[in-house]
Structure 1
Amino acid sequence: MRNVFTWTAIVASLLVMQLAQAASICDIKMGLQTARENLVAMLDAADKAAQEDLKKKVDEASTALETALEAMLGDAKTAEDNKGKLNKFKETWTALKDTREKEIVPAIYAGKKADAKALATGIQAERMTTLKGLIKELGGDDCKAAK
């Protein structure tokens, strides 16, 4: 019985490693787009339940983005100049996410949608431009359209 669990654990680990290594800039791009779209939808959501559902989607997309980013950074096949761009992406993403979590989302929950929009169209818009530019430099323009 112990051998079955051992083999199951090994197979599961290999599958996780394979999925992580298969991450691409397109996975990062998709996560960024999905997180942004759901955050914008939160601004328009009329009730707390809808906001909570959208926030869950923002968090899921953010986790997917971060998983792909870490996989690419840890992949020996990723060129060093691309790792530099990915590290810049990570730095900018962290700043964007921190502002989102500490300022924008609380403003939305507090009903201060104008304050949230002001933040989103200020420094966050600049950060988003930086992130999209890095995605483009990393070949993200070649990603298939989001489904």
Structure 2
Amino acid sequence: MADCEAVLELNRAVVEVTSPMDAERFRELYQFSSIRLSVVLEEKVVGFVLAMEEGCGYDNGNYAWFEERLRKFLYIDRVVVSGECRGHGAGRSLYAHLFAEAERLGLLSVCAEMDREPPNEASLRFHQEMGFVPIGTRVLESGKTVSMQLCSLDRDREEDSRTVVV
């Protein structure tokens, strides 16, 4: 993913449902990410995803929440598709590649969080369609409530991918 400025521009357009990211933060996230994908249309980056494997050392509250509860997972830190490309398959294409790569790495699940309050209806709907299910919630320092969600890569092993927390 060479076009840092295009990724930053995409992120700026949806910063209210992601979080701020400058070039330094992008480089940091890029280094932690084991899967880095982008969608290019007519030589323009129109979508991207950055995802980290368990045990990568990423210092992030949402990542830590999953790390306390799951094993052999891939955490989607950031996924953005440009407004003009939403609903045309770019996100599905990103996730198809992401799931295939996660399976190749021998991972059991993919996890992510979406804004629940205030709701990011498009993201919640998209992730539900992609097979994600809610497994908890977190209230962030900002006051947002996020839905913590998981998609099992092998439905038969879904129970094995979670650690029971009492």
Normalising by structure 2, we get a TM-score of 0.26
Structure scoring higher RCO (CA < 8 A, sep ≥ 6) equals: 1
As a proportion of its length, which structure holds more strand? Answer: 2
Larger Rg: 1
As a proportion of its length, which structure holds more helix? Answer: 1
